Structure 1
Amino acid sequence: MNGRGTVAYPSGAIYEGELKDNRYHGRGTYTFPDGSKYTGAFFNNRLEGEGTFTCPKGLVWTGDFHGKAALGLKLQHNF
C-alpha cells in the first residue's frame, strides 16, 4: 500500500499516516495500546526524525527520534 492509510492492530495500537510499500513512511501518528502517542516522521517503519511523544499522563516530549533512541528530548511545560 502507498499513500495515506490507517492500520489497526488487535493489541489496540493504531497507525494513521503515510505509507510506502506497506510500511510507515513519511508523517504519521502511532497510538500505543496504553494510550501513549507518537506524532511525527517515520522512515521504513521506524520513528525517524522530528516528532512529539505524549504519555498517558499527558506529558509531552519533542525532539529528534531515531528508532528507540531519542537523545535530547525536551519536555513541554503547560502552565
Structure 2
Amino acid sequence: MHHTNASTPVMMGMAKGAAHTVIEGNGGNHRGYLTAWMRYWLLDDQEAMKAFHGDSAEMMHNTNWVDVITSKYG
C-alpha cells in the first residue's frame, strides 16, 4: 500500500458531462487544468497557481466542473 504525505497538495474534479475515457486523446475539458497543474508544480508558474490555490481558486468556482475537492495548502 502506498501512502501520500498529508502535506502533499491534491485537487480533484470532474468535468460536467465527461465520459469515463474523455481524458484519452486530446484531454477534452481536462487539458487546461492538467496543463496548469504541471506548469504550477514544474515551472512554479504563479499565474497557473491561481486555478488551484486559495479560496478564489478558479477550479473551485468553475460551473463546468463538479465534485471539486482540494487539500488546504499554503
TM-score (norm 1): 0.22
TM-score (norm 2): 0.23
Larger % of strand: which?
A: 1
Larger % of helix: which?
A: 2
